Amino acid sequence: MAKDQATAPQPKVTIEPIDPQTVEPFKRDLAQRLNREAARELVWRATSKLVERSLFIMNDKDDPGLSAINNQRRKYARILWEISAYFHAIGHDKLPELGTDIGGLGVALEDLIRGVTDPLFVTKGSKRDSARIWGARLQAALG
């Protein structure tokens, strides 16, 4: 603005105090939206990490010192540990026992590689073919 031009007088502005009870619902709504966004971000990051790690494990080279079945067990155990970490990350306050149980299953599979049979895998009665074997037979029969 040029020096010789007059400026219009500025109107007086008065700010009235805001009643805290009026602001409180807006604060709560904002906090809930921010919490939902943070939760979505947490789940998205944890899920992305789980998928990335699981794919890495499945594509990882087998240990030449292990049999084919033990290499498969090791991969499943490692994926179960990743799933366990996922549940601990997204629901540490609501789902800790689920993550712990899934991780325990991974430990039981790793024990099988070492020749230790967890009671989880001990059966009573006859040794019949597994449902997985029967499923493969069905697939072969159906073509």
Contact between 40 and 72 (Cβ < 8 Å):
no
Asked whether residue 111 is assigned to any structural domain, the reply reads yes
Asked whether residue 112 is assigned to any structural domain, the reply reads yes
SS3 of residue 9 by DSSP: coil
Position 48 pLDDT exceeds 80: yes
Cβ of 107: how many Cβ atoms within 10 Å? 15
Q: Tokens at residue 80, please? A: 């179960």
Asked whether residue 68 is assigned to any structural domain, the reply reads yes
User: Whole domain around residue 90: which residue ranges?
Assistant: 35-120
73-127 residue pLDDT tens:
999 999 999 999 988 888 766 666 888 899 999 999 999 999 999 988 888 877 7
2-12 residue pLDDT tens:
555 667 777 77
Asked whether residue 8 is assigned to any structural domain, the reply reads no
The top-scoring range by mean pLDDT among 9-23, 56-70, 112-126 is: 56-70
The confidence score (pLDDT) of residue 6 equals 64
SS3 of residue 30 by DSSP: helix
Q: How many domains does the chain have?
A: 1
pLDDT band at 31 (very low <50, low <70, confident <90, very high): confident
